[in-house]
Structure 1
Amino acid sequence: MAENEKRIKTHRIRCLSKMKMFLLAITCAFVSKTLSGSYMNSMLTQIERQFNIPTSLVGFINGSFEIGNLLLIIFVSYFGTKLHRPILIGVGCVVMGLGCFLQSLPHFLMERYEYESTVSVSGNLSSNSFLCMENGTQIIRPTEDPSECVKEVKSLMWMYVLVGNIIRGIGETPIMPLGISYIEDFAKSENSPLYIGFVETGAIIGPLFGLSLASFCANVYVDTGSVNTDDLTITPTDTRWVGAWWFGFLICAGVNVLTAIPFFFLPKWLPKEGLKSNADIIKSDKEEKQREEVKKKKDGITKDFLPFMKSLLCNPVYMLFILISIIQFNAFVNMFTFMPKYLEQQHGKSASDVIFLIGIYNLPPICIGYIAGGLIMKKFKITVKQAAHIACWLSLTEYLLHFLCFLMICDNSSVAGITTTYKGCIKPEEKSLGVGLHTFCTRVFAGIPAPIYFGALVDSTCLHWGTLKCGESGACRIYDSANFRYIYLGLPAALRGLSYIPAFLILNILKNRHLPGENASSGTILTEAKTTKKENECKDMDQNSKVLNDNELKTKL
């Protein structure tokens, strides 16, 4: 007896420590992947200026991450659960590090950055204004003599950034679906929301570090160390300034590789958290052996794939949720991707200041929300229906508050020669595949196309394009503030408004459904208690009536 208790105690300690190790490792993985992702988004303007490419092409480069991700997401989500999930996640982190390193290579392969003298800034930008630039004018100067045209070697160097971003997307593929499914498989059902909340918090801490790193790099000249920065005639507020975008990618590469190390020492399976007896432990061990035997069968991996896919595609709530995610993701990708450019152009702030402000004002509330959401779901045992209602109504409230952004209006900056004259619900066994299919759809229909078409719309508001030595147009230097504002705020608002149609359909469908976990709710327990009470009363009345009838019969006899 003592030996069994000792075995159970040792088992619990081992299971708890392994789960905590995995929880810490996967949280760090989320930090590293979002660190590199947020840094990439923050450096898009610097990459655009470095390679003198239009915003639509920059949007394609940014969307290439989704291309690499969708190549494997569904298969990794399903088949990955049959393999060693921690090792797959570790390999993914290493691949992400390789992609980040590849993105930094152009800086070491091409010549030093040379900015044209077409646009210059005069006056004091945003010195006495909280939101808008004040007393700022920009002067258009003649372009250089076309006879000096020399074909630049760096014209296609942006391909390294593109390929590196695709590789980074491939490496990110196993982290979310396999990490979440690993937690849900081996954690207590009531602990899963809290654990996932901590993991998602890592997805917010990562951008905090990424934006801070981007803010620092954007304030450092791209060729610092190889040129004398005292001789520069531009400052970080100039539209021709390019920060040291390559330096942050090297740091991201190192962080991703270091994050991969713990996953190679974690087990393939863990005993289910919360086992109370020796019988439970033996049962868990038997289930683990059975899973191993199923895995060894050649046809055991693929036989359930098509039925699971059919089940997911025939689930109306799940498909409506995918539709909501696609529409909302289109809006959020556009706003987050081009937020640094919008704030920089609209309010006259430097790229470094803009990136820093984004991290300070946006991410901490989201971080608090993830933790608070996990704690609330665990404490109050929030059901699926309740969670759907909370998410829908809070999102609608935030959407209505979003329209206040339209009140923050800034006029175009004074640009001589342009704006002014020169004078002045699913099944547990389907959850991993469901997460993968959801991610695949949002990548295909939102993550890839959104930055491209939104970048093209932003290009349409350009007032003045930079000019290369050969006379070809480069990156945009000045945008029409009013049209930029209408596109940046208006299109995401329209998309988000459209997404609430399927959201209300989901609430209507869930209203008449009995879902797992609802038996634990107080309302259901109260109903069951009343029903039981009535049944007991009926039984007592029947018994009493039988007793009375027997007594009457005896008296008559």
Structure 2
Amino acid sequence: MFLLAITCAFVSKTLSGSYMNSMLTQIERQFNIPTSLVGFINGSFEIGNLLLIIFVSYFGTKLHRPIMIGIGCVIMGLGCFLKSLPHFLMNQYEYESTVSVSGNLSSNSFLCMENGTQILRPTQDPSECTKEVKSLMWVYVLVGNIVRGMGETPILPLGISYIEDFAKSENSPLYIGLIETGAIIGPLIGLLLASFCANVYVDTGSVNTDDLTITPTDTRWVGAWWFGFLICAGVNVLTAIPFFFLPKTLPKEGLENNADIIKNENEDKQREEDKKEKHRITKGKYTYFKYYEIDLLFHIDICHSFISDFLPFMKSLSCNPIYMLFILISVIQFNAFVSMVSFMPKYIEQQYGKSSSDAIFLIGIYNLPPICVGYIIGGLIMKKFKITVKQAAHIGCWLSLFEYLLYFLSFLVTCENSSVVGINTSYEGIPQDLYMGNNIFANCNVDCNCPSKIWDPVCGNNGLSYLSACLAGCETSIGMGINMVFQNCSCIQTSGNSSAVLGLCDKGPDCFLMLQYFLILSAMNSFLYSLAAIPGYMVLLRCMKSEEKSLGVGLHTFCTRVFAGIPAPIYFGALMDSTCLHWGTLKCGESGACRIYDSTTFRYIYLGLPAALRGSSFVPALIILILLRKCHLPGENASSGTELIETKVKGKKNECKDMYQKPTVLNDDELKTKL
């Protein structure tokens, strides 16, 4: 029952996480903020995790672990609800456009007209920027993500340590594999939900979508990002319910019918009853002081435990070279992994010209099932062949290396930049490398009185895109909304009637083929990466002593949060911002979200930086393989079976009898060891 409940918890937490990652682009456009700030919002989840992870990991084992996990799920639900609040507190989303959705479309004030009215130009009035400070509502998303991170804290370390404590050691890899499978089902559901929400307009129900002049493929489109967060909040709260009914401890798997254990449990219960009877004082104020004394002793015990256990455990872990090298590998790999996962929808959208909804859907279909299969096969291999720690280290290392070499094929499946006149292409259709502001205008539109900053692209029938219909020199228009067609465009050089339609031009069938190659390659890499994950995780668990596992898992998670989860999206987002070719414009003239990137430079950053990071991680991995040839790990004999455990239990029974008979003879160290 605990395995089922913790798997559902992993489903709910990864559902929320994958949905948040998929909605980063929508949040960026909704609040008109740069990618680096969006990366900070995404990294705020790790900040919330950071606040509690080590102490929850250590002191959580001394408290009721299932209840703590349940409380964490409720807090995650609260965080998801906070993230949806801005939608209900701010006005309707208004995208920049030369075509007024609410105005009279037949006025043609947005077309090329000599001595035009200029009413659609951005103003320089600071009060307009003050009105648009509604974008500061992103702070709600930031705080909600921090709260969600705090709630997620107990699930991983307490859940894994609970499994490790009460499951057979040879079954542990399979159980963890099943849990990790739940951690893949969650993102699959999250990505499908995100794909649906990204395809629904953010203010659907309150605006007439027939009047919109943008489609989901447009970089100004914002999907209903808030709706999915409400669903995530409900799922997290429902997931918490079973944990409040699970026991604090379980009998060791395989020893449930052992008479010695049952007898020991009965003796423990009897001692607890005797202790309660001893302290059951029923005389007025004395009762209050007696319970106050018990509570005070409990807090003193916590402080003593911190000094006598926590610090020595930390010292022991820091002096464990295999454990420390494994943390170093994880930090480097997570820097690459977090960066790629967070911005993969944006990469597919910019590189291959797909909408956010389609990009998210394709990621879920092509990447998550192979990861799920890889986790299950990895766990089954560990169980079937009783893989030792040293063998697991070799399997994980060489599979990762093979997947890393396969990854470089991604550099070959690329598409060309979208040709936008005035940004990366001249009016004659010749590509230009650098963005030059004075190239926005040409002889064909210099008298049109067009705004130069507003992003409202149109696709000419010559295969080139233009910043707006006005800059394309179009003089007339027919149709309404997204079906509008512009005619008599003086800047569109073609033999026939020069016309244009709303939106960027498609990248063509060759780009679609390259997308298929990229997705297939990504699916193969995902399978190999996940196949190596379970053996690698076993190295982490088995290189520590049993009493250090909970703290060790927590410290490992803590380090990946601090040195990868928080900084990676921020610096990765800042590097992406550096490739922006054209920024969106607010009404007051300030820059908003990026509308189009240099896809070549974007590709080198998105694929090249993770490749460099992951390549450096194989140096400590090889050092671990060398150390394992000479070291004897604490967990190497952990799979010796039930007989060893039974012997230890019988020994413990006798030790406990002696301990209670002569409590004054034992010093602190001996008492701690026997307990």
**What is the alpha-carbon distance in structure 2 between the residues aligned to residue 385 and residue 373 of structure 1?**
15
> Which of 35, 40, 46 matches 1:66?
46
> Which of 511, 520, 525 matches 2:629?
511
Question: What is the match of residue 395 of structure 2?
Answer: 390
**What is the alpha-carbon distance in structure 1 between the residues aligned to residue 272 and residue 330 of structure 2?**
33
> Which of 218, 225, 231 matches 2:198?
218
**What is the alpha-carbon distance in structure 1 between the residues aligned to residue 342 and residue 261 of structure 2?**
49
**SS at 2:366 equivalent:** helix
Q: CA deviation at 1:44?
A: 0.2
Alignment of 1:332-481 (within 5 A): 332-424=337-429, 425-481=543-599
- 4+ residue runs over 4 A deviation: 284-297, 516-522
Change (3 A) 1:348 1:435: same
Q: Deviations over 1:418-465 (max 9, x none)?
A: 011234310000000000000000000000000000000000000000
Q: CA deviation at 1:298?
A: 3.5
Change (3 A) 1:224 1:520: closer
Change (3 A) 1:224 1:429: same
Q: CA deviation at 1:272?
A: 1.2
Q: In the alignment, residue 72 of structure 2 is paired with which amino acid?
A: G
Alignment of 1:44-443 (within 5 A): 44-117=24-97, 144-146=121-123, 150=128, 151-275=131-255, 276-283=257-264, 298-299=300-301, 301-302=305-306, 303-424=308-429, 425-443=543-561
Q: In the alignment, residue 279 of structure 1 is paired with which amino acid?
A: D
Question: What is the match of residue 27 of structure 1?
Answer: 7
Which region of structure 1 is more displaced relative to structure 2, 269-278 or 230-239?
Answer: 269-278
Q: CA deviation at 1:285?
A: 5.4
Q: CA deviation at 1:152?
A: 1.6
Change (3 A) 1:152 1:28: same
Q: CA deviation at 1:287?
A: 6.9
Q: CA deviation at 1:277?
A: 2.4
**What is the alpha-carbon distance in structure 2 between the residues aligned to residue 314 and residue 118 of structure 1?**
64
**What is the alpha-carbon distance in structure 2 between the residues aligned to residue 73 and residue 145 of structure 1?**
47
Change (3 A) 1:44 1:290: farther
Q: CA deviation at 1:296?
A: 5.2
TM-score, L = length of structure 1? 0.83
Change (3 A) 1:307 1:469: same
Change (3 A) 1:324 1:287: farther
> Which of 496, 499, 515 matches 2:617?
499
**SS at 1:463 equivalent:** strand
Q: Deviations over 1:355-383 (max 9, x none)?
A: 00001111111111111111111111111
Change (3 A) 1:517 1:80: closer
**SS at 1:270 equivalent:** coil
Point out where structure 2 has 5 or more consecutive residues left out of the alignment: 101-111, 113-117, 276-293, 430-542, 641-675
Aligned-pair identity (%) = 82
**What is the alpha-carbon distance in structure 2 between the residues aligned to residue 305 and residue 498 of structure 1?**
32
Checking the alignment, whether the CA contact within 8 Å between 2:81 and 2:144 is kept in structure 1 is: yes
**What is the alpha-carbon distance in structure 2 between the residues aligned to residue 204 and residue 89 of structure 1?**
19
**What is the alpha-carbon distance in structure 2 between the residues aligned to residue 332 and residue 64 of structure 1?**
17
**What is the alpha-carbon distance in structure 2 between the residues aligned to residue 291 and residue 119 of structure 1?**
76
Q: Deviations over 1:208-246 (max 9, x none)?
A: 000000000000000001001111110000010000000
Q: In the alignment, residue 79 of structure 2 is paired with which amino acid?
A: G
**What is the alpha-carbon distance in structure 2 between the residues aligned to residue 34 and residue 366 of structure 1?**
14
Count of aligned residue pairs for this structure pair: 482
Q: CA deviation at 1:194?
A: 1.0
**SS at 2:191 equivalent:** helix
**SS at 2:594 equivalent:** strand
**SS at 2:220 equivalent:** coil
Q: Deviations over 1:390-416 (max 9, x none)?
A: 000000000000000000121110112
Question: Considering only aligned residues, what root-mean-square deviation do their CA atoms show, in Å?
Answer: 2.3
**What is the alpha-carbon distance in structure 1 between the residues aligned to residue 60 and residue 638 of structure 2?**
32
**What is the alpha-carbon distance in structure 2 between the residues aligned to residue 285 and residue 96 of structure 1?**
38
**What is the alpha-carbon distance in structure 1 between the residues aligned to residue 623 and residue 588 of structure 2?**
56
Checking the alignment, whether the CA contact within 8 Å between 1:271 and 1:285 is kept in structure 2 is: no
Checking the alignment, whether the CA contact within 8 Å between 1:269 and 1:288 is kept in structure 2 is: no
**SS at 1:225 equivalent:** coil
Checking the alignment, whether the CA contact within 8 Å between 1:118 and 1:466 is kept in structure 2 is: no
**SS at 1:236 equivalent:** coil
**What is the alpha-carbon distance in structure 1 between the residues aligned to residue 18 and residue 312 of structure 2?**
37
Change (3 A) 1:418 1:201: same
Checking the alignment, whether the CA contact within 8 Å between 1:383 and 1:517 is kept in structure 2 is: no
Q: Deviations over 1:65-91 (max 9, x none)?
A: 000001000000000000000010000
Q: CA deviation at 1:318?
A: 0.2
Checking the alignment, whether the CA contact within 8 Å between 2:544 and 2:633 is kept in structure 1 is: no
**What is the alpha-carbon distance in structure 2 between the residues aligned to residue 437 and residue 81 of structure 1?**
14
**What is the alpha-carbon distance in structure 1 between the residues aligned to residue 99 and residue 617 of structure 2?**
42
**What is the alpha-carbon distance in structure 1 between the residues aligned to residue 213 and residue 635 of structure 2?**
65
**What is the alpha-carbon distance in structure 2 between the residues aligned to residue 375 and residue 406 of structure 1?**
33
Q: Deviations over 1:183-226 (max 9, x none)?
A: 11111111111111111111000000000000000000000010
**What is the alpha-carbon distance in structure 2 between the residues aligned to residue 202 and residue 114 of structure 1?**
39
**What is the alpha-carbon distance in structure 1 between the residues aligned to residue 391 and residue 553 of structure 2?**
21
Q: CA deviation at 1:279?
A: 1.4
Question: What is the match of residue 490 of structure 1?
Answer: 608
**What is the alpha-carbon distance in structure 1 between the residues aligned to residue 270 and residue 33 of structure 2?**
56
**SS at 1:71 equivalent:** helix
**SS at 2:617 equivalent:** helix
**What is the alpha-carbon distance in structure 2 between the residues aligned to residue 457 and residue 180 of structure 1?**
36
